[in-house]
Amino acid sequence: MMMAHVLLCTRVKDTILDFQIFSHGLAPTCIEYTNVLVRIYDHDVQQDMFFFVQHEPVSIIYNNQTIQQPNNNKKNVSYVRRSSVDLFDEAALECCQRKVFDILFRVSLIPVLPSLKCNVDIDAHLAALIFKHFMTSAVFRRRFIKLIKQWLQFETALDMDLVTKIGNIYSVVLYVPYLIDIRVKGPKLHLSVGWCKRIECLVQKRVYMEELMAWLSTLGGAFSSMGDYFDHFAEMAGKISLKQLKVAIEMGNPMVASRCRLFYAQSLMQRGKLRQSKTIIRSESRFASQHNTNDQQVIRICQALWSKLRYLYTCRKKNR
């Protein structure tokens, strides 16, 4: 008996779109077979059952006739006179309904026996996103299962008598404590793939500029703190402020650009260029007053720099 913990399956009616098995630690696990197809067929238990259909294309037994292609490149290749997909589906369906195994070619039916099952009916776009993040993020897997337990809840899928009956029929059984059956519905709105790609480029650019601005702010603050003692640190802080200004203009945020100009004014102040610094501070103070905004940071920076500027003018007069 194969052991697993969670089986996530997305389907449209009786067609499996995708599936994945997860271990007890919610880590993705791989099935040992090279080619595995998944279908859902009506079983005599009067409910849907999940079957893993193992497909090993070596030889075909159909209507008591074996058809096999010669071995080329040391690889076993199957050959049929009809469509292999149609033949396989017909044979698997008949095998599930009649339990007649001699009509299949190296095919093993592995029934999935979930203890608890949850049916989730969601939009196709949302289902694709859920399955993608379920595959890539362990945190998302834990939180998604926790959310289902709290809001949707798992229901008992099979009783023990049925488990015993199926175990006597099939040699291999996949026991799954939890089965999440995502039933995909048609999307209400059809997404534009072209515009999604365009917007994705803009979002990536915005994220890159936000990250760049954060790094420049950290670096500029470090140089500015030493600028009161060393001129070359103040000069470097001014250069970083100008780079921040370019990024802020590219982002189209006037308040961030105003703060960058004030940082440059602080660099000028540290290098003794008080008149140029005073001009910038007055200009940015008028700009902040004219724009009615909830961002009071620019005004507070202007007040702090103006107090420091007055102190430096006082110190200069005393030294004369």
pLDDT the model gives residue 62: 42
Q: What's the pLDDT band for 77 if we cut at 50, 70, 90?
A: very low
Higher pLDDT, 95 or 184: 184
pLDDT the model gives residue 92: 54
- For the segment 235-258, the average pLDDT, to the nearest whole number, is 92
- For the segment 5-29, the average pLDDT, to the nearest whole number, is 76
Give residue for tokens 């595995």.
36
| Domains (range + CATH), the chain | 2-56+106-185 (no CATH), 193-319 (1.25.40)
Are 267 and 241 spatial neighbours (Cβ–Cβ below 8 Å)? yes
187-196, 215-224, 255-264: least confident range: 187-196
pLDDT one-digit tens code per residue, 90-108: 555 555 555 444 444 444 5
Higher pLDDT, 294 or 237: 237
- For the segment 164-170, the average pLDDT, to the nearest whole number, is 73
- For the segment 227-235, the average pLDDT, to the nearest whole number, is 91
